[in-house]
């Protein structure tokens, strides 16, 4: 992380001050009381939430509100981008992303979590205040103070800074991991032994695999053939279903025609009875008519006989006339002569 700019507004002796920092070593010089330490305190307050006195005492005398803006660039491992942290002596506290032009975190809790991520402090349980006081912002004349403490006090200070207890706990947990690894290694060795025993029969397995592969190919070929037969039989089944439907329709039609035939037979039988009745009546009527006609014919025949006799007589008379007419004509001619 690299602090590039610090802006103070109504903070202690600074009415409005802006400080920029290039990469490398930076020396801040000035007279006593000029506000050199205030720059470091502003960075500690904005980024690490560390302030050795009340924020009201951090405010410039006579001002109602003071503010601090700290601009920094994250390391390339994080994202290598620039962010601005704003904090004032009131309730204002947020992180601004200049590239996106928006606030990515507000309020103390959210800002603290986001700062840990941006500063690369990802280990849980890290004491930010101890980290700042003993490593980042060591006060003037106090750089070697921790080294001059009694052993027990020095151990407590550096254990907290270096997170010795956490590493010790981690080491204890690693022992469990090592034991687990040993158990896994032993299990793997057993499995390796079984595998080596199985490898003795490798050639047999290869030959068996070859036979199984050949059988599989034959089975697939047979499966293709059976699928073809199934498709053909499915078509036959469809044709049989169609034929069955036609048979069913024909049977229904046959039964319907049978019913109609029975009805026609009954009708024919009724008509036969009616015809017989009418035939019997007609024979009696024809017999009477025949008898009447016979009588009439007899009368006609009698008349014909009479007519024929009369005709015969006339013919004889004409013949007789023909024989006597020349004599009569000659007699008449003679008389007139």
pLDDT higher for 251 or 305? Answer: 251
The CA dihedral of 262, 263, 265, 268, to the nearest 10 degrees, is 180
**Residue 71, pLDDT score:** 96
**Residue 337, pLDDT score:** 47
Least confident of 36-45, 100-109, 203-212, 326-335: 326-335
Question: Confidence band (pLDDT; 50, 70, 90) for 334?
Answer: very low
Q: What is the pLDDT of residues 248-294, one digit of tens each?
A: 888 888 888 888 888 878 888 888 887 777 777 666 676 666 677 66
**Residue 335, pLDDT score:** 47
Burial track 61-94 (b if 16+ CB lie within 10 A, e otherwise)? eeeeebbbbbbbbbeeeeeeebbbbbbbbeeebb
Separation CA 168–CA 170 (nearest Å)? 5
Most confident among 62-71, 151-160, 204-213, 302-311 (mean pLDDT)? 62-71
pLDDT higher for 57 or 336? Answer: 57
With a cut of 50, say whether residue 188 has pLDDT above it: yes
Going along the chain from its start, the domains and CATH numbers come out as 2-122 (3.40.50.300)
202-336 vs 164-199: helix crossing angle, rounded to 10: 70
pLDDT higher for 222 or 206? Answer: 222
**Residue 323, pLDDT score:** 58
């Amino acid at each position: 992380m690299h602090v590039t700019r610090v802006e103070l507004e109504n903070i202690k002796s600074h009415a409005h001050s802006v400080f920029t920092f290039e990469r490398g070593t930076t020396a801040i010089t000035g007279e006593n009381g000029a506000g050199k330490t205030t720059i470091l305190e502003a960075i500690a307050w904005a980024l690490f939430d560390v302030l050795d006195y009340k924020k009201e005492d951090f405010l410039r005398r006579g001002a109602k509100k003071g503010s601090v803006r700290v601009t920094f660039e994250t390391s390339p491992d994080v994202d290598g981008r620039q962010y601005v942290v704003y904090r004032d002596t009131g309730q204002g506290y947020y992180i601004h992303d200049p590239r996106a032009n928006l606030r990515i975190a507000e309020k103390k809790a959210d800002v603290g979590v986001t700062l840990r991520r941006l500063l690369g402090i990802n280990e849980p349980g890290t004491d930010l205040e101890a980290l700042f006081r003993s490593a980042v912002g060591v006060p003037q004349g106090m750089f070697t103070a921790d080294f001059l403490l009694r052993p027990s006090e020095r151990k407590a200070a550096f254990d907290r800074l270096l997170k010795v207890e956490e590493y010790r706990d981690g080491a204890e947990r690693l022992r469990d991991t090592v034991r687990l690894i040993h158990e896994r290694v032993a299990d793997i060795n057993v499995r390796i032994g079984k595998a080596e025993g199985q490898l003795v029969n490798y050639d047999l397995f290869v030959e068996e695999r070859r036979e199984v592969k050949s059988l599989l190919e034959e089975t697939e070929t047979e499966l293709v053939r059976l699928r073809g037969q199934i498709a053909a039989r499915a078509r036959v089944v469809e044709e049989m279903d169609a034929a069955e439907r036609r048979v069913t329709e024909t049977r229904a039609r046959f039964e319907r025609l049978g019913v109609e035939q029975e009805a026609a037979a009954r009708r024919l039988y009724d008509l036969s009875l009616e015809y017989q009745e009418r035939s019997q009546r007609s024979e009696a009527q024809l017999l009477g008519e025949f008898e009447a006609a016979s009588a009439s014919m007899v009368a006609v025949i009698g008349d014909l006989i009479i007519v024929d006799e009369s005709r015969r007589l006339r013919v004889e008379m004409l013949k007789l006339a023909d024989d006597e007419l020349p004599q009569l004509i000659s007699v008449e001619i003679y008389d007139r002569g």
